[in-house]
Amino acid sequence: MSGIYSEPYYIAVGDKIYALQALDAPEQTSFLLKYSGELRCTITLDENGKWISDKYIDEDELNEIIKWIERLFM
Domain span at residue 41 reads: 9-73
For the entire predicted model, the pTM comes to: 0.84
Predicted confidence band at 1 (pLDDT cuts at 50, 70, 90)?
A: very low
**CB neighbour list of residue 73: distance below 8 Å, 6 or more residues apart:** 22, 28, 31
61 belongs to a structural domain: yes
Inside any domain, residue 4: no
Contact assessment for residue 66 and residue 13, using Cβ atoms and an 8 Å cutoff: no
Structure confidence by residue, pLDDT tens digits, 11-62: 999 999 999 999 876 666 899 999 999 999 999 988 898 999 999 999 999 9
Give the rounded distance of the alpha carbon of 17 from its chain centre.
Answer: 12
pLDDT of residue 47: 86
**Residue 17 counted as domain residue:** yes
- Predicted pLDDT of residue 43: 94
The verdict on residue 30 lying in a domain is yes
Strand partners, 43: 31, 53
The 10s digit of each residue's pLDDT in 18-28 is 999 998 766 66
| Domain count for the chain | 1
Dist. CA 45–CA 12, nearest whole Å? 21
Nearest 5°: CA angle at 17, between 48 and 8?
Answer: 65
